[in-house]
C-alpha cells in the first residue's frame, strides 16, 4: 500500500516537471532572440554614429571633389582646407534662418547673415534643393571653384555644411552687402566717382585673375550687380560661383547649355551656347554702364528708347550725347566728364558684337589704370529681342543669321553641363 501510495505521490510531481520543460525552453528561446535583436539594433546605431562622425572629420579636413571626371587632373593637389560647420551651429547663428536676417537670394537659394559663438559675422548661403534638380551639383561646383582660387577681389569661402538634404556655404560677411542694393536705389546711398571707379577696377582685376592669372581658366557666367559684394571700404568682391565653368587653354570656347541672367548675357552665348571668357567681358560692360548710370540694364517703366541700357547707351554714343546716361549726382559732386566718358567708351568696347573684338581683361585693367591708351572705336553691339527700325520683331533665328559664329564649327567642345 505504502509502495503504491508512494508511487501515487511521486507520479503527479514527476508529470509536472516533465510538462514544464517545453515551456522553459520556449521562454529561453524568446529571451535569446530578443537579446540578439537588441544587440543588432545597438550595433546599427553605433555604426551609424561612427560613420557620421568619420564623415564630419573627413569633410573638416577637406572637401572631396565629386564628378571628378571633368577635372581630376587639373584639381589634383590644388584644394585648400576649409572648415566644416555643423548644421545646428549655422541654424543657431542665423536665428533659424530668420527672414529678417536674409541678405539676398542667389540662383539656387537665399543668403542669410549670421553670428557665430565667437561673434564673427558670416554670410550663409542655404541651397534650395527643391528648386533645382541640380542643386547638389551647383553646391559642389561652387565649393570646387572657390577652394581652388584665391584673390582679394573674389569672395572668401570660410566653410561649408552637408547634413542630410541640407547644403550650405559659409562666406565672409561683406558689410555693405551687394552692389545692386545701392545702384538700383533700394538703399538711399550715394557713391561718388572715386568709389564707383574703385568698384569697376576691382571687378576687372578679379575677372583678370579668373581668365588669365589663375592656375585654372574660369568663366564666371553670371557677372551682375547682385553678385558683386562690398566690404566696409566699398572694395568689391565677386561672389556666387554656382554657374562658373573652367576649360583648358587650348579650347576656343565651350559648347554648353545657356545659364546666366538675361540682360547681361553675350549674344553668341545666348543664341548658340558658345561660351568663352569674352562672355564675362560682355557682362562686365553691362555692369559698368549700370554703375555709371545707377539704373538696371532693363527697365520697362522707362520710355521705349531708354528701356534697354546697352542699346540706349549706344544711341547716345552715336549722337555724341553719352553724358546723358551718367547719374546726374556725379556731375553735382564735381566729377570730371573726361574720366567718366573714357570708362563708358571702354564699356562699349566690351559690348561689341564679335567676341574677338572685345579686349581681354588684362588690357581693360591696363586702360583703367591709364597704363595703356584707349584703342579703337567701338563697333555697334547686337541687341537681342529688340524692335527693328521698321518696328518689326526680330527673331532669334534672324539675329543668328546676321550674327554668324566667328569661331570654327569643328572647334573641340568641353563636356556640357
Q: What is the CATH number of the domain that holds 139?
A: 3.30.200.20
Does residue 38 lie in a domain region?
no
Q: Clarify whether residues 161 and 232 are in a common domain.
A: no
> What pLDDT score was predicted for residue 321?
96
- From 138, 172, 206, the end of a domain falls on 172
- From 155, 172, 189, the end of a domain falls on 172
Q: Are 110 and 225 in contact (CB under 8 A)?
A: no
> What pLDDT score was predicted for residue 172?
92
> What pLDDT score was predicted for residue 297?
94
Q: Clarify whether residues 102 and 148 are in a common domain.
A: yes
Q: Clarify whether residues 273 and 168 are in a common domain.
A: no
Q: Are 111 and 125 in contact (CB under 8 A)?
A: yes
- From 137, 172, 207, the end of a domain falls on 172
E strand map for 116-244: 121-126, 157-163, 166-172, 218-219, 228-230, 236-238
Does residue 66 lie in a domain region?
no
E strand map for 208-284: 218-219, 228-230, 236-238, 245-246, 254-255, 274-275
Q: Clarify whether residues 107 and 223 are in a common domain.
A: no
Q: Clarify whether residues 166 and 191 are in a common domain.
A: no
**Residues annotated as catalytic (active site), given as ranges:** 222
Element (H, E) at 311: helix 309-318
Domain that holds residue 267: 180-402
pTM of the model: 0.72
Q: Clarify whether residues 156 and 206 are in a common domain.
A: no
For the chain (length 417 residues), average pLDDT per consecutive 10? 47 50 74 83 83 57 38 39 85 94 81 93 83 58 75 91 86 93 86 97 97 89 94 94 77 72 89 90 97 95 94 96 96 94 96 94 94 77 57 39 41 34
Q: Are 168 and 176 in contact (CB under 8 A)?
A: no
Does residue 398 lie in a domain region?
yes
Q: Clarify whether residues 317 and 225 are in a common domain.
A: yes
Does residue 96 lie in a domain region?
yes
Give strand pairing partners of 228: 238
3-state secondary structure of 307: coil
> What pLDDT score was predicted for residue 245?
84
> What pLDDT score was predicted for residue 141?
67
- As for how many domains the chain has, the answer is 2
Q: Are 210 and 247 in contact (CB under 8 A)?
A: no
Does residue 234 lie in a domain region?
yes
Q: Clarify whether residues 156 and 242 are in a common domain.
A: no
Q: Clarify whether residues 164 and 252 are in a common domain.
A: no
Q: Clarify whether residues 129 and 194 are in a common domain.
A: no
Does residue 122 lie in a domain region?
yes
Q: What is the CATH number of the domain that holds 242?
A: 1.10.510.10
Q: What is the distance between the alpha carbons of residues 157 and 372, in angstroms, rounded to a whole number? A: 34
> What pLDDT score was predicted for residue 212?
93
Q: Clarify whether residues 145 and 211 are in a common domain.
A: no
Does residue 364 lie in a domain region?
yes
Does residue 49 lie in a domain region?
no
Say if residue 308 is exposed, middle or buried (CB neighbours under 10 Å; 0-12, 13-18, 19+): buried
Phi-psi region for residue 115, left (φ > 0), alpha (ψ -120 to 50) or beta? beta
> What pLDDT score was predicted for residue 250?
66
Q: Clarify whether residues 308 and 388 are in a common domain.
A: yes
Phi-psi region for residue 162, left (φ > 0), alpha (ψ -120 to 50) or beta? beta
3-state secondary structure of 179: coil
Amino acid at each position: 500500500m505504502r509502495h503504491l501510495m508512494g508511487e501515487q505521490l511521486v507520479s503527479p510531481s514527476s508529470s509536472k516537471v516533465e510538462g514544464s520543460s517545453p515551456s522553459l525552453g520556449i521562454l529561453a528561446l524568446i529571451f535569446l532572440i530578443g537579446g540578439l535583436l537588441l544587440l543588432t539594433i545597438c550595433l546599427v546605431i553605433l555604426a551609424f554614429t561612427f560613420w557620421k562622425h568619420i564623415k564630419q572629420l573627413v569633410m573638416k579636413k577637406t572637401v572631396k571633389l565629386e564628378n571628378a571626371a571633368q577635372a581630376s587632373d587639373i584639381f589634383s593637389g590644388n584644394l585648400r582646407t576649409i572648415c566644416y560647420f555643423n548644421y545646428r551651429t549655422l541654424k543657431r547663428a542665423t536665428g533659424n534662418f530668420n527672414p529678417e536676417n536674409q541678405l539676398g537670394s542667389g540662383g539656387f537659394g537665399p543668403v542669410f547673415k549670421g553670428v557665430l559663438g565667437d561673434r564673427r559675422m558670416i554670410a550663409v548661403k542655404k541651397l534650395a534643393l527643391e528648386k533645382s534638380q541640380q542643386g547638389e551639383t551647383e553646391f559642389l561646383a561652387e565649393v570646387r571653384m572657390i577652394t581652388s582660387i584665391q584673390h582679394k577681389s573674389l569672395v572668401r569661402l570660410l566653410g561649408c555644411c552637408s547634413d542630410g538634404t541640407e547644403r550650405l556655404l559659409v562666406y565672409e560677411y561683406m558689410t555693405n552687402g551687394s552692389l545692386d542694393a545701392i545702384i538700383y536705389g533700394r538703399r538711399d546711398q550715394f557713391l561718388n566717382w572715386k568709389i564707383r571707379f574703385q568698384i569697376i577696377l576691382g571687378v576687372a582685376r578679379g575677372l583678370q585673375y579668373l581668365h588669365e592669372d589663375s592656375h585654372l581658366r574660369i568663366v564666371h557666367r553670371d557677372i551682375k550687380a547682385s553678385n558683386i559684394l562690398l566690404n566696409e571700404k566699398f572694395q568689391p568682391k565677386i561672389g556666387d560661383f554656382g554657374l562658373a565653368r573652367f576649360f583648358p587653354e587650348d579650347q576656343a570656347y565651350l559648347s554648353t547649355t545657356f545659364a546666366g541672367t538675361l540682360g547681361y548675357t553675350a549674344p553668341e552665348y545666348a543664341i548658340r551656347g558658345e561660351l568663352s571668357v569674352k562672355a564675362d567681358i560682355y557682362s562686365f560692360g553691362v555692369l559698368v554702364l549700370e554703375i555709371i548710370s545707377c539704373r538696371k540694364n532693363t527697365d520697362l517703366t522707362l520710355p521705349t528708347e531708354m528701356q534697354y541700357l546697352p542699346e540706349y547707351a549706344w544711341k547716345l554714343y552715336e549722337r555724341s550725347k553719352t553724358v546723358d546716361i551718367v547719374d546726374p549726382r556725379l556731375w553735382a559732386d564735381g566729377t570730371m566728364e573726361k574720366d567718366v566718358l573714357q570708362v563708358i567708351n571702354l564699356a562699349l568696347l566690351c559690348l561689341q558684337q564679335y567676341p574677338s573684338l572685345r579686349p581681354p581683361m588684362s588690357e581693360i585693367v591696363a586702360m583703367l589704370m591709364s597704363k595703356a591708351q584707349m584703342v579703337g572705336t567701338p563697333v555697334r553691339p547686337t541687341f537681342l529681342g529688340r524692335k527693328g527700325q521698321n518696328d518689326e520683331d526680330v527673331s532669334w533665328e534672324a539675329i543668328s543669321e546676321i550674327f554668324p559664329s566667328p569661331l570654327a564649327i569643328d572647334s573641340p567642345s568641353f563636356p556640357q553641363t
